[in-house]
A and B are shown apart, each in its own frame.
Chain A
Amino acid sequence: MDPDELEFLGEKSKIMIIPTFNKENIHLISGDLGPFRASLPSQVPLWVATLLKKQKRCKIIPPDWMNVEYLEALKEQEKQTSGFTRMPSDHYMVEAKLLLDCAPDDIPNADEVKVIIKDIWDMRMSKIRSSVTKLVKNSDFYAAVDNLTIMEINSVRPILPHALDNLFRMKHIEQPKPSQNSNVSSFLMSKRASTSFQLSNNEDY
């Protein structure tokens, strides 16, 4: 999926704004927005928020997680665990990019926020790379990826699925047809452990 399409999916996230205008409801197909009263917070999709912000018709209230304190804690947690921390939003990268682009004035310490988010992303990407290597080396044909966000999943595409496609194909060439002689086939087949490779730190999974 290309980056524009990921952004397209992420733009649906709901964001709080403080409008500078008064307006009755906006009846979108995706649902009603408003009514808007100047200086009273109101919830809109991210794409509407950026549109209004560009027209200087609103102030953005950054999402709860988009502040230095929260993100520093998140970064620390990501550093401490070998698995993946659950992110505050499935589209945190898209939200950060769009809001930092159009409303840096509404986000306290915007530059710092940007740096920490980048740090967290980099840390997670390096974990993803080593997980992918492990997965492919073990020829695991199943893995939980619970705490990976859509954009992170997209970052291993197409390389990871393609690698597994080919490993799967090779495995099936190796195997004699089980129906022909079950004794031989079960002897020849390398028994793989039934545990799935855990990409997430979700212990109870």
Chain B
Amino acid sequence: MFGEKGYNLIKELARSEDNLPPYNSDLVNEISHEITKQFEENRDDAQNSTIDGSESLLLNTIRIRNGASKRNIRCLMAYHYNRLKCLRTMRWEFGSILPPDIKANLSSDELEWFSNYSKTLVNYMKSIGEDGINLAVDLKPPKALYIEVQCLVDYGRFELSDGTMLLLKKNSRHYLPRSECEELIRQGVFKHIS
């Protein structure tokens, strides 16, 4: 049936609001094919109609095909556009390097778009003020008292109370709420520096 595949594509999108399922290139190709076919059939019919004068009969068929392909195009656009929006959010969450499990679900065009977006964003952030400013931090109004600490050992992953994951490497410096580091200072993982 006309448009059914497009509908399925949108359903897939709706099911996975905040995450990215694997790029459905099969379905995308099938829909693209459907659109091309509709275009070709319409073109052929339009040519024939001028020859034998059966315009009125064919006109409705052409209209319906045209409507169906328009709808298909919209579905394709919505699918691709919304995946980019999701990718965009991930750029803000994960930074310029995506986790491998997410990367595996992207098409090569999406990967290219992501790296372009990342570049555009970094260029913008660098151009603010005199020294640039990182917009991907300070997402919430600051509340606690912060202190600067230096990591003395390769500690590995460390989760803050707000869910932020940190990778604590030897000699890395972090600016953290005092309450969050006190324990690690006691354990000798952190050194409080000025």
**Interfacial residues, chain A to chain B (CB-CB below 8 A):** 4-5, 7-8, 51
Contact = CB atoms under 8 A, between A and B. Distances in A.
A94 to B, nearest CB: 12
B141 interface: yes
Contacts of A4: 140-141, 143
Instruction: With a 10 A CB-CB cut-off, give which of B140, B141, B145 has the most chain A CB atoms.
Output: B141
A186 B140 CA distance: 51
A147 to B, nearest CB: 26
A141 to B, nearest CB: 31
Instruction: With a 10 A CB-CB cut-off, give which of B140, B143, B145 has the most chain A CB atoms.
Output: B143
Contacts of B145: 51
Nearest to A55: B145
Interface in B119-152: 140-141, 143, 145
Interface of B: 140-141, 143, 145
Nearest to A7: B141
A5 B140 CA distance: 8
A205 B93 CA distance: 48
Contacts of A8: 141
A7 B143 CA distance: 10
Contacts of A51: 145
Nearest to A8: B141
A51 B143 CA distance: 9
A51 B141 CA distance: 15
Contacts of A5: 141
Nearest to A6: B141
Nearest to A51: B145
Contacts of B140: 4
A8 B138 CA distance: 13
Nearest to B145: A51
Contacts of B141: 4-5, 7-8
